[in-house]
């Protein structure tokens, strides 16, 4: 795929959704961090249902730490892997209090040092909370990048690097959100909804299936 096609793809997505953002509900960088930690192998819908009850009670590192692991579990037990996530969130809250003055750090190294925070989670926080150029490649973005031909790669890191390299600079800040929304609602895994796709004529997928 060439630059002209990529530019047109992201232009169409931007025209349709000028200010894309995460579907996780949050009001500050700490709430976003916790929501993203909880969202691993879980849907945003399930996380939002849990945090809708949790955040009115505890939405600071101190308040969640005071709940303790067992107290936190009562709010997140409907989310997959809630036992390990509760442990990680409590440990993360303690580190934020002790090392970061209860603030979410705005750099990758410090974020990835937090329990339950890997590269993808760090990228989401850097991009969404701090508006830094970062590409969090999940299953949706990996699929869309390969299927469309925007940035094909054999693993998530390769796709991440290609996306950062090939996406025109004017779209980079919001590209993560457009890609994930496209994968979540249009370019779905089993039966992509090509008939309702904004970029069907630019996508490499139909060309592959025709040959």
The residue from 73, 85, 138, 174 that is catalytic is 138
Active site includes 138? yes
Residue 115 has a pLDDT of: 97
The answer to whether the annotation marks 93 as part of a ligand binding site is no
106-145 as b/e: b if 16+ CB within 10 A: eebebbeebbbbebbbbbbbbbbbeeeebbbbbebbbbbb
Q: Tell me: the pLDDT tens digits for 62-94?
A: 999 999 999 999 999 999 999 999 999 999 999
C-alpha–C-alpha distance, residues 98 and 189, integer Å: 42
E strand or H helix at 185, and its extent? Answer: helix 172-185
Domain boundaries for CATH 1.10.340.30 within the chain: 29-128
Q: At what angle do helices 172-185 and 3-16 cross, to 10 degrees?
A: 70
Q: Which fold has domain 29-128?
A: Endonuclease III; domain 1 (1.10.340)
CA–chain centroid gap for 77, Å, is: 21
CA–chain centroid gap for 163, Å, is: 15
- For the whole model, what pTM was predicted? 0.91
Count of C-beta atoms within a 10 Å radius of residue 169:
7
Domain boundaries for CATH 1.10.1670.10 within the chain: 3-20+134-210
The answer to whether the annotation marks 195 as part of a ligand binding site is no
With pLDDT > 70 as the criterion, what percentage of the chain qualifies?
A: 98
Active site includes 174? no
28-67 as b/e: b if 16+ CB within 10 A: ebbbbbbbbbbbbebebeebbebbeebbeebbbbeebbeb
The phi, psi pair for 124, rounded to 5°, reads -60, -45
Q: What is the DSSP string of 1-40?
A: --HHHHHHHHHHHHHH-SS---SS--SSHHHHHHHHHHTT
For residue 185, what are its two tokens? Answer: 């609602």
Residue 207 has a pLDDT of: 66
- Residue bearing the bigger pLDDT, 211 or 66: 66
3-20+134-210: in CATH 3.60.21.10: no
Residue 211 has a pLDDT of: 42
C-alpha–C-alpha distance, residues 174 and 180, integer Å: 10
Answer whether residue 209 shows pLDDT above 70.
no
Answer whether residue 106 shows pLDDT above 90.
yes
Residue 69 has a pLDDT of: 97
Q: Tell me: the pLDDT tens digits for 166-205?
A: 999 999 999 999 999 999 999 999 999 999 999 999 998 8
Mean pLDDT of the chain: 95
Answer whether residue 97 shows pLDDT above 90.
yes
Residue 205 has a pLDDT of: 87
Nearest Cα to 183, choosing from 193, 174, 171, 168? 193
Q: Tell me: the pLDDT tens digits for 131-168?
A: 999 999 999 999 999 999 999 999 999 999 999 999 99
C-alpha–C-alpha distance, residues 124 and 137, integer Å: 9
The answer to whether the annotation marks 187 as part of a ligand binding site is yes
Nearest Cα to 52, choosing from 27, 30, 29, 71? 27
């Amino acid at each position: 795929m060439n630059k002209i096609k990529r530019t047109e793809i992201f232009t169409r997505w931007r025209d349709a959704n000028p200010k894309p953002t995460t579907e996780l509900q949050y009001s500050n960088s700490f709430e976003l961090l916790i929501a993203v930690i909880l969202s691993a192998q879980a849907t945003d819908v399930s996380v939002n249902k849990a945090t809708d009850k949790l955040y009115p009670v505890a939405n600071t590192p101190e308040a969640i730490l005071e709940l303790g692991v067992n107290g936190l579990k009562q709010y997140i037990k409907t989310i997959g892997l809630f036992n390990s996530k509760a442990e990680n969130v409590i440990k993360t809250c303690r580190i934020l209090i002790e090392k970061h003055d209860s603030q979410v750090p705005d750099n990758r190294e410090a974020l990835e040092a937090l329990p339950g925070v890997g590269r993808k989670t760090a990228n989401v926080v850097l991009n969404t909370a701090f508006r830094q150029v970062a590409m969090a490649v999940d299953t949706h973005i990996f699929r869309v990048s390969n299927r469309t031909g925007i940035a094909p790669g054999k693993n998530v890191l390769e796709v991440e690097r290609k996306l950062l390299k090939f996406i025109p600079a004017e779209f980079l800040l919001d590209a993560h959100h457009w890609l994930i929304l496209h994968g979540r609602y249009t370019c779905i895994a089993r039966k992509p909804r090509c008939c309702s796709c904004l970029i069907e004529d630019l996508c490499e997928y139909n060309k592959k299936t025709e040959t």
